[in-house]
Amino acid sequence: DFRIATPDSQLAIMEARWGLVPDMGITATLRGLIGLDMAKELTMTARIVSGTEAKDIGLISHVAEEPMVKALALANEIGARSPDAVLAAKRVLNAMVSQPESDTLALEKRWQRRLLLGKNFKIAGKKAKSPELNFVDREFD
């Protein structure tokens, strides 16, 4: 879901150096991350980019001197949210890149209805005043 690299990381789509087209699902992975023009440039040139440049073009989410520390901080931040809302957000956002807009809007509406009726929605509203409250286990799959 998130890609974190050091500033001096080296990333590339190297297949062009060997006379090949990218494989291992890179075409599906790049969709939604970077523009078509940049995907073509990186694929056709096999140019190596640093972590900093990769962040600038949207290939990675974050640049950090210590990626594991950043990843754990992000995981903790997400973990402090309703597990049902996190699941629903991931499902709706993933659908956004693979389904027609009308289907995504319908999915969003279905999830919102489910969440509003859930236990974790009620807890989320109280957590601002009582941070010690814990969410219940995820109610939805």
Tens-digit pLDDT profile for residues 44-94: 999 999 999 999 999 999 999 999 999 999 999 999 999 999 999 999 999
% of the chain with per-residue pLDDT over 70: 100
pLDDT of 114: 95
Does 29 score more than 90 pLDDT?
Answer: no
Q: 23 is written with which tokens?
A: 């494989």
% of the chain with per-residue pLDDT over 90: 82
Task: Name the CA radius of gyration of the chain, rounded.
Answer: 19
Q: 46 is written with which tokens?
A: 């096999």
Q: What is the mean pLDDT of residues 35-41?
A: 94
Q: 16 is written with which tokens?
A: 């062009």
DSSP calls for 49-95 = EEHHHHHHHTSSSEE-SSHHHHHHHHHHHHHTS-HHHHHHHHHHHHH
Q: What is the DSSP letter of 14?
A: G
